[in-house]
Structure 1
Amino acid sequence: MSAASPSAPGPLFETAVVAGVGLIGGSVALGLRQRLLARRVIGLDASPEVLREAEALGVVDEVHTRGGEWLRGADLVVLAAPMRALAPLARELAPFLNPSALVTDVGSVKGGIAAEMERLGVRHFVAGHPMAGSERGGVTHARAALLENAVWVLTPTDHTPLTALSKARTLVEQLGAAPVVMPPDAHDALVATISHLPYLASLALTHMVARDERLSLLAAGGFRDLTRVASGDPRMSRDMVVENKGALREALTRFRRQLERLEADLDEPEELLEAAREGKRTRDSLPIVRRSLLPQRHDLVVAVPDRPNQIGAVTQALGAAGVNIKDIEVLAIREDGGAIRLGLETPEDVASAAAILQTAGFEVRGRA
């Protein structure tokens, strides 16, 4: 069938609201728009300046500085405020939420917000934590690609409807991330060890250097790598570890035991050697994500209706115009259609392909 006038497939959500348009919230919004997962993406933020920037960058379609009755039209709400502001934001928005809307968050501690949303009676809430980030914050540095291949933990409670969890999993998968499901307390115990404890350890080491100028003369690359997390935003980092202080205290207790064991091993060289070997095996087995080594991609996302030969119509139209497709990926398949990602060689190819396909009647969106 010809692609002269195909109808675009329906998105997963009609109206999505991202409350808190920073690095992660902005990246979620871009993912929703670029992967055609929401027909309209609204940014909610207390800062008019942030919202102006988000609109100018094409991160959102519409903006609001406060919640209100307009929220009842949203079928997806993503809470993306800083950790300390998450519960107050939930309390502000809860009276205006559509009871059937999927609500999730992106905070790094789950127990508190899960309990708060249950207290507020928000039934279709699924707490989430995308394990992604950047040393550069703010919507200016938001990228849909930030979420791709990231582990995204979902932490339902005993009261979470299975339909809500299923929708949340689909959302995460369609954003290009890998969902992992566990209870909130299990998540908080794990991040206390792998994220919050290293932050406190980094603070302790940097404080030792700060109190002895001689140490700073010798603190080179290895020390900088070990203490990198201490350079994060102090207020946000403080709020993160305080919110998880119960699990973090347990992790600190285990850490002290490990230090005491290693201190004792100083008098047992063979034991210390085995500890070093175990440490090397563990460290060398950790997965490495080298996004910076990947070649820059110039992508175009195309909505395709559920009709025969639609992907063929896309590739034939571009091939006839001499546009070389370097990569192709099916992003979504639904009853009324789906979306495909075309990997192209240059930004100029993206612009040419977009014009060609729009003329043919396809809905397209570029992707950084």
Structure 2
Amino acid sequence: MTDPAAPVTPAPLFDTAVVAGVGLIGGSVALGLRQRFLARRVIGLDNSVEVLREAEALGVVDEVRATPGEWLRDADLVVLAAPMRSLAPLARELAPWLSRGALVTDVGSVKAGIAAEMEALGVRNFVAGHPMAGSERGGVTHARAGLLENAVWVLTPSDHTPLTALSKARTLVEHLGAAPVVMPPDAHDQLVATVSHLPYLASLALTHMVARDERLSLLAAGGFRDLTRVASGDPRMSRDMVVENRSALREALSRFRRQLDRLEADLDEPDDLLDAAQEGKRTRDSLPVVKRSLLPPKHDLVVAVPDRPNQIGAVTQALGEAGVNIKDIEVLAIREEGGAMRLGLESPEDVRRAGEILSAAGFEVRARG
């Protein structure tokens, strides 16, 4: 007989999820899986005992492991989240232990190499992926489920990727709050060479100019800092990223040099330079912007809800009677046996009170970071 007071949780998309590499992005994926009730159990795999202790203490994962082994056969989702240079070695280390039916994906910023590696290893249900999200601050301490929300998440299946695996990967991305975009691995690498890897090299060149003339540092104000922000990322990880994509990046650099040559010539043609400036403004102003960093701090609670009538009403009534003001409600996902909803509250104290009230009413809740 079912206990009516027992917390009601939706059926997860995955029973056991493994995140291999619990850093900023891997930790954010793990938090998203836990907070949105997408996996019954989330295991963090990392070769750093210190990272694993921190991830477990912060509630990023349910369990931790330092080495692969037979336990990996229970995983029906495996996310490879190691730095670019470690991604292929990690794949080779894990491949012998993976269940044939497990969905395997990665979060690396270059796709052709890892796609070829996984195909050579015979990992059938691999879907290469790249969430276009990040921060200058790395490590699991800065992981946030919200980092992935509204981000473009590129999926790059190969010619041999099963359609069922691609469908599962799309569903995972959507339930994490991101927007999946599907394209071939080579096309992805060419595009990110221009919009991600080239800006990194450009920011390095500009910061080197400042480093070699101390007078410039006195005048390097907000605009310069914004333009060179990506130079503050982890140097080793950034180096590995651009080296892995060097072929496509060389092509992008060649196009960039031609643009600089054209603009240099336009210095003697003010009307042409004005046309170039107007085109630049139109393009820049049309870019979609997700202003995560400008939003006020969120005080959110995620509530698992069964797929039954009046569940939203039951939640809001319980909190309203207790005097807890709900500022925002968002339905995160509804699956066959239920889903989850986000409650935006006024303060951390309201999050704590709401959690206690709803837990007592039989709902499972999780505060969201």
| d(CA) in 2 for partners of 1:96, 1:16 | 14
CA offset at residue 304 of structure 1?
A: 1.6
How far does residue 218 in structure 1 lie from its aligned partner after superposition? 3.4
Aligned to 1:119: 120
Distance 1:349 1:364 in 2: 13
**Counterpart-to-counterpart distance in 2, 1:282 and 1:194:** 13
**Which residue identity is paired with 1:82?**
P
Q: CA offsets, 1:2-33, max 9 Å, x none?
A: 97456422111111100000111111111111
Q: Match of 1:192?
A: 193
Say which SS state the counterpart of residue 27 (structure 2) adopts. Answer: helix
Cα distance in 2, alignment partners of residues 264 and 342 from structure 1 = 55
Aligned match of 1:279: 280
Change in 2 beyond 3 A, CA 1:3/1:350: farther
Q: Sequence identity, in percent? A: 86
Q: Which residues of 2 match residues 209-248 of structure 1 at below 5 A?
A: 209-248=210-249
Query: Which secondary structure does the structure 2 equivalent of 1:137 belong to?
Result: coil
In the other structure, the counterpart of 1:309 is 310
Runs of 4+ in 1 over 6 A off after TM superposition: none
CA contact (8 A) 1:148 1:176 kept: yes
Q: Secondary structure at the match of 2:60?
A: coil
Residue range with higher mean Cα deviation, 165-174 or 221-230:
221-230
Aligned match of 2:140: 139
Written as runs of structure 1 = structure 2, the 5 A alignment for 1:1-368 is 4-5=5-6, 7-368=8-369
Distance 1:323 1:221 in 2: 41
Write the letter of the residue equivalent to 1:309: N
**TM-score under structure 1 normalisation?**
0.96
Structure 1 residues 214 and 352: alpha-carbon distance in aligned structure 2, compared to 1, 3 A threshold: closer
- The letter for the 2-side match of 1:114 is A
1:3–1:313 CA contact under 8 A, matched in 2: no
Indicate if the aligned counterparts of 2:129 and 2:156 stay in contact, CA closer than 8 A: yes
Cα displacement string for residues 57-90 of structure 1 (whole angstroms, at most 9, x for unaligned residues): 0001100111111000011111100111001000
The answer to which of 102-111 and 335-344 deviates more is: 335-344
Q: Is the 8 A contact 2:21 2:46 kept in 1?
A: yes
User: Shift of residue 243 of structure 1?
Assistant: 0.3
Deviation at 1:299, TM superposition (A): 1.5
How far apart, CA to CA, are the structure 1 residues paired with 2:153 and 2:114?
16
TM-score (norm 2): 0.95
**1:153 counterpart SS class:** strand
The 1-side partners of 2:202 and 2:9 are apart by 52
**Range with greater deviation from structure 2 (305-314 or 141-150):** 305-314
Deviations 1:116-158 (A, max 9, x none): 1111111111111111111111101111111111111111111
Task: Report if the CA contact (8 A) 1:156-1:181 is conserved.
Answer: yes
The amino acid that maps onto 1:9 is P
Cα distance change on mapping 1:316 and 1:255 into 2, 3 Å: same
Give how far 1:346 is off: 1.5
SS, match of residue 306 in structure 1: coil
DSSP-derived class of the 2:68 partner: coil
How many angstroms apart in 2 are the aligned matches of 1:293 and 1:225?
14
Q: Which amino acid aligns with 1:210?
A: A
Label 1:219 to 1:301 Cα distance change in 2 as closer, same or farther (>3 A): closer
Aligned mates of 2:159, 2:189 — CA distance in 1: 17
Q: Does the aligned pair in 1 maintain the 2:76–2:101 contact within 8 Å?
A: yes
How many angstroms does 1:312 deviate by? 2.1
The one-letter code of the counterpart of 2:63 is: E
Deviation digits for residues 173-225 of structure 1 (CA, Å, limit 9, x no counterpart): 11111111111111111110011111111122222232333433433332222
For structure 1, list consecutive stretches of 5 or more residues without a partner in the other structure. none
CA distance in 2, matches of 1:344, 1:269: 54
Partner Cα separation in structure 2 for residue 224 and residue 340 of structure 1:
38
Kept after mapping to 2: 8 A contact 1:6/1:304? no
Judging changes above 3 Å, is the alpha-carbon distance between structure 1 residues 4 and 320 closer, same or farther for their aligned structure 2 residues? farther
What does the per-residue CA deviation read over 1:74-109, in whole Å, with 9 as the maximum and x for residues that have no partner? 111111001110010000001001111111111111
Distance (Å, rounded) in 1 between the aligned partners of 2:363 and 2:295: 29
C-alpha contact 1:6 1:305 (8 A) present in aligned 2: no
Please give the per-residue CA displacement for 1:245-269, whole angstroms capped at 9, x wherever unaligned.
0100110111111112122222322
Give distance in 2, aligned partners of 1:52 and 1:318: 35
In 1, are the aligned partners of 2:9 and 2:37 still within 8 Å (CA)?
A: no
1:340 CA drift (Å): 1.5
| Matched positions, count | 367
Instruction: State the alpha-carbon separation in 1 of the partners of residues 339 and 321 from structure 2.
Output: 23
In 2, Cα distance between the equivalents of 1:197 and 1:235? Answer: 16
CA distance in 2, matches of 1:354, 1:100: 36
Which sits farther off after the overlay, 355-364 or 150-159? Answer: 355-364
CA distance in 2, matches of 1:49, 1:6: 33
TM-aligned CA distance change 1:187 to 1:232, over 3 Å: same
